[in-house]
Structure 1
Amino acid sequence: MTLCRFAALHYSANFTRMQMKLILMALCAVVSSFKQPLSTELDGIWEEWKTQHGKQYSKVDEGFRRMIWETNQRLIRQHNLEAEIGKHTFTLGINQFGDMTNKEYNALLTANDAEEVKSLDGIPLSKWNCSLSAAPETWDWRQYGYVTPVKNQGSCGSCYAFAAVGALEGQLFKQTGTLLPLSEQNLVDCSGDYHNNGCNGGLAMRCFSYVSDHGIMSERKYPYTAEVGPCEYQNATKEAWCKGFNRVPSLDEKVFRDTLYEVGPIAVSVNATHPSFKFYKDGVLYEPDCSTRTNHAVLAVGYGSSYLDYWIVKNSWGTGWGRDGYILMARGYNQCGIARRPVYPIM
């Protein structure tokens, strides 16, 4: 029995015939929208996208995935047309998330906002507060050797480990002058006793606590697998250690900027749920509808200014996302919650 027929057989006697007719028309429109023919003009682009991202589907699944992908293509096209006339400060682009349902995408966003708030109780605050003349208008730690190439967490919800490792790599370079990629897998496999959850989320600050107690190995000696395995940490081959961590005062983006300039790259949390973040491509992300309830850990590596002040943020979704793996996020607006809980390790 079709949805339209079912509705016709089960309407309330209180409805007039006209009311029921309107309801049936709306229901039938919803049903028919799921049966819209796929756009043949996108066939070539679809095949290229599948090849680029290594996508393979069963015959049953391909139509469903193509429909999601086309819906996202239309959203992106509409946004970019609006950006051309000045309605938005950034553009979008199709990426590896193009065929995912919202539920599938959100499953990758595993940072827990409430747990992070609780975990920060009693943590020392950053004391940096540079004069306006001391902190330059723009700063980018990538230009000074503090930042390793963009990595890819894959389907494992390990963003917290990548954010923590990025901050640790910067501090290790500051101390030694050597930029050494450290092991996210070490943290994914071994920081469970610190209340991290492997591929199901965690917090960068808990990683710093683990490294304070144990140390951390290099990426070369403990490579990333994008899945949880037994802890294979070897103390004899650790490459770095930290004394603990500090936090930046919540929502104070002036102190945040000063601290970033004085200290180095800083681990931050953002809300990555909105399509504007999911499909970000270029420009400065200013999205008033982006929630400040954070669910994804990233690394702030600098700041600057153009038509908007912005943060330079390194993500862990590979170089095919955003600006070669980076995003510029509006500064001074707590955009997507970025200024709520910045933390950094002490070496």
Structure 2
Amino acid sequence: MTPTILSLATLFLVFFAPYLRFGEAKTYELSEVKLNSHILQESIARQINENPEAGWEATINPRFSNFTVGQFKRLLGVKQTPRSELSSAPVVTHPKSLKLPKDFDARTAWSQCSTIGRILDQGHCGSCWAFGAVESLSDRFCIHFDMNVSLSVNDILACCGLLCGAGCAGGTPFSAWIYLAHHGVVTEECDPYFDQIGCSHPGCEPTYRTPKCVKKCVNGNQLWETSKHYSVKAYTVNSDPQDIMAEVYKNGPVEVAFTVYEDFAHYKSGVYKHITGFALGGHAVKLVGWGTSHEGEDYWLLANQWNTNWGDDGYFKIKRGTNECGIENAVTAGLPSTKNIVREVTDMDVDADVSF
């Protein structure tokens, strides 16, 4: 069955207004003392772990053991989407009659797709907005076309320019999907991520200038244009949890954005919900599933790009159904396109699931 596109009036009420509320958790102007203090605090971890209502476990994650609050903030690279883009964004819904499982994990549902289970590392660049989009599209090429291909975050980070935002200083997830639809993205083999060493080398500053757009594969035997893979159009998903689940169930992982507070840096396991600390910025990740904890709490399952030494081997769960930290307000995606693919795809019609 084909999802419907909401009318413009409904689009404004259902999507536009809630998306504005994505930034309602004010990111306060922090003092220099606060910005230069360590992001990981034993007092925060203790407050979480001693709270029986918290529902999750906190720890001093090795990934950020040497980070200040200011340095951590730079990784939170989601900028507000321009109104001009939101006003024309297709909003997808799915039939309420679709029966969905109580729990779902894209890693096991499509176990043949190696990219779904990969945990990457954005290093010390505010490139989360690009990671969430490129990772989701990579997964969808496998799900829909049976192609295990890793697409290049570096391409979109370096070459999207002002369309997406400011590279390592942040960008907008929906703009990233527009770039994927109009300009495509090369493979990771053609254009690997520029920051392969993360923040492990001596004297590392956790911020890097955006890499230059070279438009040339590192392997001389590959051509930039022929390595391009495209999305069909960019769209948003209605913020109703049922629609988000149906989108993931039918088409694969999606990109989501949410407000990050100080306590999130301390996440280890369980179902996260904000307990303490200031709001620091917006972050984008890949949503791969959902479920309900043994304690009866509904959650979303997400893959972060902070390596496996953060959280639950790089993954985290967040409360589902209450728009925790705005995570249900900003869901973006696109379907893989047959454009520029040499081999013929005969097993499906890419337009079958979404109408524009």
1:99 aligns with 2:99: no
Conserved 8 A contact 1:186-1:216: yes
Conserved 8 A contact 2:78-2:173: no
Structure 1 residue 105: deviation in Å? 1.6
Query: Structure 2 matches for 1:246-257, cutoff 5 A?
Result: 246-250=235-239, 252-257=240-245
1:209 aligns with 2:191: no
Tell me which residue corresponds to 1:61. Answer: none
1:104-151 deviations in whole A, cap 9, x for unaligned? 2212212113x356532221111313426x211111111113414100
Please tell me the root mean square deviation across aligned C-alpha atoms, in Å: 2.5
Matching residue's letter, 1:319: T
Larger radius of gyration: 1
Counterpart of 2:252 (choices 253, 264, 268) is 264
1:293-339 deviations in whole A, cap 9, x for unaligned? 96111111111112211000111111111111111010011011100
Conserved 8 A contact 1:167-1:267: yes
Q: Aligned residues, how many? A: 276
Structure 1 residue 214: deviation in Å? 2.1
TM-score (norm 1): 0.73
Distance of 1:240 and 1:191 partners within structure 2: 15
Tell me which residue corresponds to 1:89. Answer: 55
Tell me the secondary structure at the aligned position of residue 168 of structure 2: coil
Distance of 1:102 and 1:118 partners within structure 2: 32
Distance of 2:64 and 2:225 partners within structure 1: 40
TM-score (norm 2): 0.71
Structure 1 residue 176: deviation in Å? 2.2
Tell me which residue corresponds to 1:310. Answer: 299
The structure whose RCO (Cα within 8 Å, separation 6+) is larger is: 2
Conserved 8 A contact 1:128-1:262: no
In structure 2, the CA distance between the partners of 1:291 and 1:246, relative to structure 1 (3 Å rule), is farther
Tell me the secondary structure at the aligned position of residue 42 of structure 2: helix
Structure 1 residue 76: deviation in Å? 1.3
Q: Which has the higher helix share?
A: 1
Distance of 1:291 and 1:140 partners within structure 2: 31
Query: Structure 2 matches for 1:293-332, cutoff 5 A?
Result: 295-306=282-293, 307-332=296-321
Tell me which residue corresponds to 1:230. Answer: 212
Query: Structure 2 matches for 1:82-231, cutoff 5 A?
Result: 82=51, 86-95=52-61, 96-113=63-80, 115=81, 119-131=85-97, 134-143=99-108, 144-145=110-111, 146=113, 147-226=116-195, 227=208, 228-231=210-213
Counterpart of 1:74 (choices 29, 43, 53) is 43
1:211-246 deviations in whole A, cap 9, x for unaligned? 222221111221111352221335433242112121
Tell me the secondary structure at the aligned position of residue 199 of structure 1: helix
1:243 aligns with 2:260: no
In structure 2, the CA distance between the partners of 1:218 and 1:179, relative to structure 1 (3 Å rule), is same
Tell me which residue corresponds to 1:345. Answer: 334
Distance of 1:89 and 1:290 partners within structure 2: 17
Conserved 8 A contact 2:54-2:275: no
Matching residue's letter, 2:177: F
Distance of 2:64 and 2:323 partners within structure 1: 25
| Structure 1: 5+ residue stretches without partners | 1-33, 35-64
Distance of 1:257 and 1:293 partners within structure 2: 28
Distance of 2:83 and 2:252 partners within structure 1: 23
Conserved 8 A contact 2:190-2:227: no
Distance of 2:127 and 2:247 partners within structure 1: 25
In structure 2, the CA distance between the partners of 1:74 and 1:158, relative to structure 1 (3 Å rule), is same
Tell me which residue corresponds to 1:277. Answer: 264
Matching residue's letter, 2:182: D
